[in-house]
Structure 1
Amino acid sequence: MKWLAKLSLLLSGFITCASLASVYNLPAADSRLVGEQTIHKAVKGDYFQALAESYNVGFFALLAANPGVDPFLLASGHEIVIPKQMLLPFGKREGLVINLAELRLYYYPKGEKLVYVFPVGIGREGLETPHLTDTIGEKRKDPTWRPTAEMRARYFAEHGKEMVREVPAGPNNPFGKYALRIGTSEYLLHGTNKRFGIGMRASSGCIRMYDNDIEWLYNNIPVGTPIRIFEQPIKMSYEENGKKIELHRPLTPDDGSEVKLVMTNAIKNFIGNDDEMLKKVNLLLNNPKGVVISLN
């Protein structure tokens, strides 16, 4: 895609450090809503990747929240939706939770009524990040990168030459400066030596994070922290000021076929007997924006 080449070129000269995680107070057990939607008024020179790093959100999240907006040519004064409000995923609020559909990592520190939210990059089509329940098995500083046999075979098939078998710590290391191993598997949460790919499907299956974000996790979570990874494109919640829904585009499977959101019985039960609301949600299912929508 042409915009990927544009983005890579822009990032080659972009050195601003990403901000740290968004931190929210945990809502009551019967609520899922955190944060507030943010509007950024574009100024000359703004582009989506710079905004993504500045606000610590994902690149794809900005694209979805601002359909039809050129991510590289933002008109001065144009209002850009920054998706800083969200519904917490369904499930236990414990440890690390990664929702692949929204390309976000949630961290619930033990004994604190807070949740930390980070954008992440995940496995691209054909190299999907697995759904799993496990713990953090190991923490590494200045990790050595050793491509798997499968990665080396794929590289040889694509380029006709052998891939390097090991990259030590340093600026050329794809893992960056920190890595957290999931259980005893080959899958890691790690930094990167490239700014490209956070909030996108761009890795070989591992979870990619901004360097400042993975450093914070390295310093603040212990080995043994629970981690759950799943895909949850539809999130709903009954809030004090009405019903809320947040929809994300499902991940494309290995065969490349397009998957669309559909009206499920759970959504119908959530909406109730309201034909106008059903029509509204049907439109949202066809064009998920990844932002919290009020159904009042």
Structure 2
Amino acid sequence: MLVSRFWSSVVRRVWLPGLCAWLVLAAAAGAEAWPPGHHPLPETGDVIGEIQVVRVRGDETLIDVARRHNVGYEEIRMANPDVSIWAPEPGTEVVIPGRYILPDAPREGIVVNLSEMRLYYYSSEEVVETYPISVGRDGFATPVGLTRTTIKVKDPSWNPPRSVREEAAARGEPPPEVVPPGPDNPLGRHAILLGLPSYLIHGTNRPDGVGMRVSRGCIRMFPEDIESLFERVPAGTPVNIIDQPFKAGRTEDGRIFVQSFPQLEENVGSFEPLNNAVEILRRVSGGEDLSPVAYARLRALVDEPDGLAVPLERPVARLLSVPE
């Protein structure tokens, strides 16, 4: 735990502040424009996107900043633990965790990583898209497995399941048997049905909850994201729902990056997180042993996951040399 706190302190107080300055300069230099969520698929390697630093505008909440940059609630909260969610000061620097390690799964169709609360869509051989999502809360876990998209429905009606009606009745607010399309419909304006009965990928009338475990098992997206997918995802597209709280991969120049997320509550105790991470790293590195520095960083990330995709091995001296 002391090692974990040491690395967390170094990254938060030294590396990220220096990174902020470097990223602002990099952004000013300009990068190739891509639509939100779209990234060129690397010919070799597993890492896409970049971490950015932006500033809060006017009366924006941290949730507003997140949505503007294709990030969900938990992602933005973990990356900015010292920034107020609902009332950040205008001009506050915000870390956007926009670098991702592609999940360890076939790169085809849609891949949903539950612990990450993120969807990946391999829309062509050259492009991968990624979007924040909400997944099933504890007691209503989104199932892991392979399925396919089936029917697409514009302006769907919602039939509240019995559990919803029972909960509402207990509050003295029984809902109607059917909720018609409109602003009160929790499915939003677009729904993609899956081969798993009763499970959908859909929009929402409460976008502030995207990026949290709040659904009854369905996959929720920002309205603009599901609208984009709705128009382009054909029926029969494979959907691979996985749960990978720890990811590792290589950049195109061979560096190893790692990314760690909190385990889902229902999976805590089902495996030992550090051992799992070590095994994943051994596969990615080709069986190489971890150096003491790499092991310390790995342990810190597993103990205190923050969702940031970062280099595995970065000596303290190099961290301290990042320009302020």
Task: State the TM bucket, normalised to the shorter chain.
Answer: 0.7 to 0.9
From 129, 134, 149, give the equivalent of 1:121. Answer: 134
Deviations 1:30-49 (A, max 9, x none): 41000111111234423211
Q: Deviations over 1:20-75 (max 9, x none)?
A: 741000012x4100011111123442321101111121011001111232222323
Q: 1:290 — aligned with what?
A: 307
Cα contact 2:120–2:128 (8 A) shared by 1: yes
- The equivalences for 1:168-179 within 5 A come to 168-179=180-191
The aligned residue for residue 195 of structure 1 is: 207
Match of 1:280 in 2: 297
| Superposed counterparts of 1:221-232, under 5 Å | 221-232=233-244
Task: Provide the alpha-carbon RMSD of the alignment.
Answer: 2.3
2: distance between equivalents of 1:27 and 1:257?
A: 35
CA offsets, 1:228-273, max 9 Å, x none?
111111111133252110111111129x989983233415634624
Q: Give the secondary structure class of the aligned counterpart of 1:135.
A: strand
Q: Does 1:27 align with 2:39?
A: no
Cα pair 1:61 1:199 within 8 Å, conserved = yes
**Contact (CA 8 Å) 1:65, 1:290: kept in 2 or not?**
yes
Q: Is the 8 A contact 2:49 2:98 kept in 1?
A: yes
Distance in 1, matches of 2:273 and 2:121, equals 27
Instruction: Find the counterpart in structure 2 of residue 261 from structure 1.
Output: 273
Higher mean alpha-carbon deviation, 159-168 vs 243-252, is at 159-168
What TM-score results when the alignment is normalised by the length of structure 2? 0.78
Q: Percent identity?
A: 33
Match of 2:19 in 1: none
Residue 106 (1) aligns with residue 120 (2):
yes
The aligned counterpart of 1:207 is: 219
- Specify whether residues 261 and 69 from structure 1 end up closer, same or farther in structure 2 by C-alpha distance, changes over 3 A only: farther
Q: Secondary structure at the match of 2:180?
A: coil
For 2:116, the aligned partner's letter is: E
Aligned 8 A contact 1:263 1:282 in 2: no
| Distance in 2, Cα, partners of 1:244 & 1:128 | 29
- Residue 245 of structure 2 corresponds to residue 233 of structure 1: yes
TM-score normalized with structure 1 length: 0.85
- Maintained 8 Å contact 1:25/1:115: yes
Distance 1:40 1:201 in 2: 26
Name the counterpart of 1:3: none
Q: Unpaired runs of 5+ in structure 2? A: 1-34, 314-324
2:134 aligned partner, one-letter code = G
Q: CA deviation at 1:136?
A: 0.5
Deviation of the 1:281 alpha carbon? 1.2
Contact 2:47 2:250 survives alignment (8 Å):
no
Paired amino acid for 1:248: F
Kindly indicate whether residue 229 of structure 2 is the aligned counterpart of residue 217 of structure 1.
yes
Pair 1:142–1:38, CA change in 2 (3 A): same
AA matched with 2:85: P
Q: Is the 8 A contact 2:247 2:280 kept in 1?
A: no
Q: Secondary structure at the match of 1:263?
A: helix
Count of aligned positions? 274
Between 1:75-84 and 1:217-226, the stretch displaced more is 75-84
What is the rounded CA distance, in whole Å, between the counterparts of 1:198 and 1:273 in structure 2? 36
Do the aligned partners of residues 148 and 246 (structure 1) sit closer, same or farther apart at CA in structure 2, a change above 3 Å counting? same
1:253 aligned counterpart, secondary structure: helix
Structure showing the higher helix proportion among its residues: 2
